[in-house]
Amino acid sequence: MIRLFKWFWGYPLPFRIAASAFFGVMLGFLFLGTPVWLVVLALILIFRTHLFIVFVSALCGYIFSLLFRPFYERTGVKILLNNETFWQTFCSKPFVNYLNLNNAQIMGSIIWALIISLIVFIILIIFLKKSRNSMLRNLNTDNR
């Protein structure tokens, strides 16, 4: 049982914690139950992220997304109409057509989710690596 727990959770590396927050914020920004939301949920399970961090960041992402919901449709329309022929051919592909990317609100939520999630990921990875390095330096000086 302990081996299974260690395999599932592993050592909490900064990249893994930041990736968990990235996917959680993505879940919070996307509409619940859409095919894209289910794909992100599958990625969470595949990449063995920390579920508690995913849950907390999804809750924070949902609360934060309420500020951006009015911009979803406008952003989606601008993206879809910017290069209409590309999106028509891309959205007609066998797997992609089930993701409902031709809907402006869904496309806008994906764009905003990616932007905010990347910002959270970058901030967390920088902060966690710096704090980890400073903790390691403190441990090295304490051992002397």
The residue type at 101: L
Indicate whether 7 pLDDT > 60: no
Output helix, strand, coil percentages for the chain, rounded to the nearest 5: 85, 0, 15
* Tokens representing residue 122 in the block: 């970058």
DSSP letter for 93, please.
S
Indicate whether 135 pLDDT > 70: no
Which has more pLDDT, 56 or 132?
A: 56
Global pTM reads 0.80
Interval 52-77: pLDDT, tens:
889 999 999 999 999 989 998 999 89
> What integer pLDDT is reported at residue 120 of this predicted model?
93
Enumerate the domain spans of the chain: 15-128
- Residues shown for the chain: 144
